[in-house]
Amino acid sequence: MKPFHQPPHQMPHSADAPSKSMASQFAVRRGDECANCGLCKRVCIYGVHERLEEDPRFMAPPKQEMCRGCLRCVMECPRNAITVVPNADSDVENIILFEASTGKVPVSGAGYGGRFGGYGFDGIWLDMSEIVRPTRDGIHGREYISTVVEIGRFPPYLKFGDGEVEKSMEELFTIEVPFPILFREVSAMDSVVECILEATSKLGTYMIVSEDTYDAYPSYRDNMLVEVDVESGMMDEQRTITRVEVRSGIEELVYKLFKNGCAIVHLTARGDGRSYDGKFAGDIVESVHDYLMSKGVREVASIVFSGGILKAEHVPKSLILGADAVAIDKPLLIALEYADCLSSDLSIDWGVQRIINLMCSWRDQLLEVLGAMGMRDVRRIRGEKGRAMFMRDLENEFIQNCGFEVHENDDGT
């Protein structure tokens, strides 16, 4: 393997890059039963239902971002053709849109109105006990907190001969990333991919790409890692990252990859954060990390985890479960308002700034969490499960102590 080292990277500054829209709070659908009578246009006072400009005989697709969920159109439609349901993702999408617009940390103010526990990442609570210590003020300058992570292949031990280190880090493939977030390649038009690549290069992070994309964008190769499937046998090539789907029982496979020279394993889950056999993917990442620790090989290579990472808080939680870094794709597309971009021109400058803003916000939130934990280096939280509380453990403790029964819902809560 050839060496590859990047110097520490200066984070670019955030700047205003306003959103063009807000995420819809309701999903409004008009079915095939619609007779184009236009009654819904008359009854909706928010202008969601309009006729097609180019052919007024037909109704236009609903402007669902304007819907207030009053259900009047649903009640009045003579064909029962309309459904209006809450858009469960709208809160997350609006947070990402805010972060991408401003680069700031979203503040919800006093009085949290949501649930305090739930499935997946929502069942993990970070230990912020140091937040009350007045001497801790890392975010605002009195203490330096590092968000830099190194990923790649590391020597299991150093060998000395004639007073010199025989096998040094220089022989191994390692990269330094200024914050533990990589980008995944997205299926979108070229300008969206270019936007993300340009932001990747400015931020000093890396994009996980296919070989075709690596060949198609030679000027961005310094910030690319080529993803290869675990079956391809190319795992020890420089700049490759080996993809393994997250499912139960992959511990031994990842162990063999670590033993056989792999530099970076990409554990990739489904977009909803579940494994390919339906479990919370984070539990399997945790199990892989524990297995590698028990075998004494955890430090020789790195784990990047992707799948269902939509909020800044999911980054430290993934690291605590055992990942060295995470990779994201959907938040990038939301930041670029990709649904709009596909039908209109995407300004590259605007898009690059939106992604920089998103990462500035997520990095600041990571600093907030590290400061509140009393940690000065993000690398120290990898696999540090003592720095979080897990709802599953607390529930088990509760059941044992009180003798209550707990039933699991369909959604895993």
Question: Which positions touch ligand SF4 (CB under 6 A)?
Answer: 28, 30, 34-40, 43-44, 46, 48, 59, 67-73, 77-79, 81-82, 84
Q: Are 370 and 376 in contact (CB under 8 A)?
A: yes
Give me 148's structure tokens.
């830099």
User: Of 37 and 165, which has the nearer Cβ to ligand SF4?
Assistant: 37
The span from the CA of 314 to the CA of 204, in Å, is: 21
The span from the CA of 392 to the CA of 413, in Å, is: 10
Amino acid found at 330: K
User: Of 85 and 399, which has the nearer Cβ to ligand SF4?
Assistant: 85
User: Of 37 and 389, which has the nearer Cβ to ligand SF4?
Assistant: 37
Amino acid found at 221: R
Q: Where are the alpha helices (DSSP H) in 78-217?
A: 90-102, 190-203, 211-216
| Shortest reach from residue 90's CB to ligand SF4, in Å | 14
User: Of 16 and 32, which has the nearer Cβ to ligand SF4?
Assistant: 32
Q: Are 263 and 152 in contact (CB under 8 A)?
A: yes
| Shortest reach from residue 27's CB to ligand SF4, in Å | 10
| Shortest reach from residue 68's CB to ligand SF4, in Å | 4
- Chain position carrying tokens 């955890």: 298
User: Of 38 and 261, which has the nearer Cβ to ligand SF4?
Assistant: 38
| Shortest reach from residue 360's CB to ligand SF4, in Å | 35
| Shortest reach from residue 384's CB to ligand SF4, in Å | 46
User: Of 36 and 94, which has the nearer Cβ to ligand SF4?
Assistant: 36
| Shortest reach from residue 66's CB to ligand SF4, in Å | 7
Q: Which residues sit opposite 240 in a β-bridge?
A: 226
Query: What's the residue count for the chain?
Result: 413
| Shortest reach from residue 113's CB to ligand SF4, in Å | 22
User: Of 83 and 210, which has the nearer Cβ to ligand SF4?
Assistant: 83
Measure Cα distances from 281 to 59, 135, 145 in Å.
42, 37, 29
Neighbour-count burial of 406, counting CB atoms closer than 10 A to its CB (0-12 exposed, 13-18 middle, 19+ buried): exposed
Give me 386's structure tokens.
């003592």
| Shortest reach from residue 109's CB to ligand SF4, in Å | 27
3-state secondary structure of 238: coil
The span from the CA of 131 to the CA of 138, in Å, is: 11
| Shortest reach from residue 201's CB to ligand SF4, in Å | 43
Give me 55's structure tokens.
């052919």
The span from the CA of 209 to the CA of 226, in Å, is: 5
3-state secondary structure of 65: helix
User: Of 38 and 106, which has the nearer Cβ to ligand SF4?
Assistant: 38
Q: What is the DSSP letter of 104?
A: P
User: Of 38 and 118, which has the nearer Cβ to ligand SF4?
Assistant: 38
User: Of 28 and 335, which has the nearer Cβ to ligand SF4?
Assistant: 28
The span from the CA of 25 to the CA of 295, in Å, is: 48
Q: What is the DSSP letter of 346?
A: P
| Shortest reach from residue 152's CB to ligand SF4, in Å | 51
Q: Where are the alpha helices (DSSP H) in 374-404?
A: 391-402
| Shortest reach from residue 40's CB to ligand SF4, in Å | 3
User: Of 24 and 102, which has the nearer Cβ to ligand SF4?
Assistant: 24
178's CB contacts (< 8 A; 6+ apart) are 8, 9, 11, 147, 148, 203, 204, 205, 363
